[in-house]
Amino acid sequence: MSSTENVLSPEYKEAVTNLLFQLADDDFLISFRGSEWLGLAPHIEEDVASSSISQDTMGHAAMYYTLLEELSIGKADDLAHLRPASERKNSILAERVNGEGYYMETPQYDWAYAVVRNFFYAQAKKVKIDSLRQSSYQPLAETAVKVNMELYYHLLHWKTWFVQLLSSTDEAKQKMTAAMELVMKDFGDVFSYGNEKAAIEGNQLIASEEELKARWTANMTPIFESLEMAVPAIPEASEKNGRNGEHTEELDGALATLSEVYKLDPVAVW
């Protein structure tokens, strides 16, 4: 990819790099959270099915980190494991814990939160990927075509859970409603490009924040209508914007765990 790199203006490269970090960190953190669920899902068959989605998603993160490596930003594994929280560009939603407690002990994970977070996230990812297929940065457009293939299953899987739980017991409906509130509180930076908005949109790397939000709402509308519910409104902004490196302590916890072994010796072969 060095030829691509040579023809990029510094300003364009900066915008591409930023967007790639947002995409990579989002998929990496949410799949890390998915991996903490492994072995603990409510039903054995579901444990197997949802782990495939976590693997697909971490695979997508690896593709984005590799694009960054090809831009000479750093080694993919270093980018995934060594960057401090202040340099991470994932949305707050992706870094949130699965529930109370550390996964090594007896955590109290919330399946309603998992279903809502993953469904809303998958829908947002779908909207972004559809737009990225027309990205001005060709390697990213090509990656988007590949990622798109696996999103059909992710969406069907989480939509099925979302609709079924909301069509079942009162207890389930309560838990799902509470989970939706939690998820939407963090939804303000999901479609944000942070301080890079002008550069990312101006260089036609992806559609505008406003356009993507409108498409997300449009895609969600028939599903919510079938449940006789209104699509929750995406907040204008959030308290913290992950795209600008603003994060919660929950991200610190995640980074400490995911890099624990790698940091023992980052130059060793593992």
Partner 1 sequence: MSNLTMMTEEEKLEQFVQRIEAGDKIEADDWMPEEYRMALIKLISMHGISEIMGALPEKEWVPKAPSLHRKLGIMAKVQDEMGHGQLLLRVAEDLLKPYGKNRGDLMQDLFNGDLKFHNVFHMDTRTWGDAGLIGWLVDGAAIITQTNMLGASYGPYARALQRICAEEVFHAQHGEAIIMALAEGTEEQRAMVQDALNRWWDALLMFFGPASKDTTGSSKQDVTIKYKIRTKTNEQLRQAFFDKYVPRILSLGLKLPDPTMHYDEENKVWVYQQPDWAEFKKIIKNQGPRSQERLNLRRTSYENNAWVRDALAATVS
Partner 2 sequence: MAEKTFYQEYEVFSKRTPSSAFQHQFSLLAPNEDMALVMAQENFMRREPVADIWIVNRKHIRAMDAEEKLTLGRLDNKQYRTTKGYGYLKKKWRHYEQQMLDEKEILSWGGDGK
The footprint of partner 1 (CB under 8 A) covers: 32, 35-36, 38-45, 47-48, 51-52, 54-55, 58-59, 61-62, 65, 76-77, 80-81, 103-109, 111, 164-165, 167-169, 171-172, 175, 257-258, 260-262, 264-265, 268-270
**Residue 31 vs 131, nearer CB to partner 1:** 31
Phi, psi (rounded to 5 degrees) for 236 = -60, -45
**Residue 35 vs 244, nearer CB to partner 2:** 35
Partner touching 260 among partner 1, partner 2, none, CB below 5 to 8 Å by kind: partner 1
- CB-CB contact of 176 with 112 (8 Å): yes
- CB-CB contact of 115 with 176 (8 Å): yes
Partner touching 153 among partner 2, partner 1, none, CB below 5 to 8 Å by kind: partner 2
Residues in the chain: 270
**Least distance from partner 1 to the Cβ atom of residue 134, Å:** 27
**Least distance from partner 2 to the Cβ atom of residue 126, Å:** 16
Q: In the block, which residue shows the tokens 């068959």? A: 45
> Could you give the C-alpha distances from 171 to 9, 175, 266, in angstroms and in order?
55, 6, 47
**Least distance from partner 1 to the Cβ atom of residue 40, Å:** 4
Chain residues in the site for partner 2 (CB under 8 A): 43, 45-46, 48-49, 51-52, 153, 156-157, 160-161, 164
Query: Which phi-psi region, left, alpha or beta, contains residue 99 (left: φ > 0; alpha: ψ -120 to 50)?
Result: left
Name the nearest CA neighbour of 199 among 147, 242, 136.
136
**Residue 162 vs 191, nearer CB to partner 2:** 162
CA atoms within 13 A on the CB side of 142: 5
**Residue 150 vs 246, nearer CB to partner 1:** 150
Partner touching 219 among partner 2, partner 1, none, CB below 5 to 8 Å by kind: none
Task: Name the residue type at position 216.
Answer: W
Residues 187, 219, 145, CA angle at the centre, nearest 5°?
Answer: 90
**Residue 184 vs 258, nearer CB to partner 1:** 258
**Least distance from partner 2 to the Cβ atom of residue 22, Å:** 28
Burial class (CB in 10 A: 0-12, 13-18, 19+), 237: exposed
**Residue 43 vs 263, nearer CB to partner 2:** 43
**Residue 43 vs 146, nearer CB to partner 2:** 43
Partner touching 160 among partner 2, partner 1, none, CB below 5 to 8 Å by kind: partner 2
Task: Name the residue type at position 128.
Answer: K
Partner touching 194 among partner 1, partner 2, none, CB below 5 to 8 Å by kind: none
- CB-CB contact of 70 with 1 (8 Å): yes
CA atoms within 13 A on the CB side of 189: 25
Torsion of CA 47, 254, 173, 225, to 10 degrees: -90
Partner touching 157 among partner 1, partner 2, none, CB below 5 to 8 Å by kind: partner 2
Partner touching 7 among partner 2, partner 1, none, CB below 5 to 8 Å by kind: none
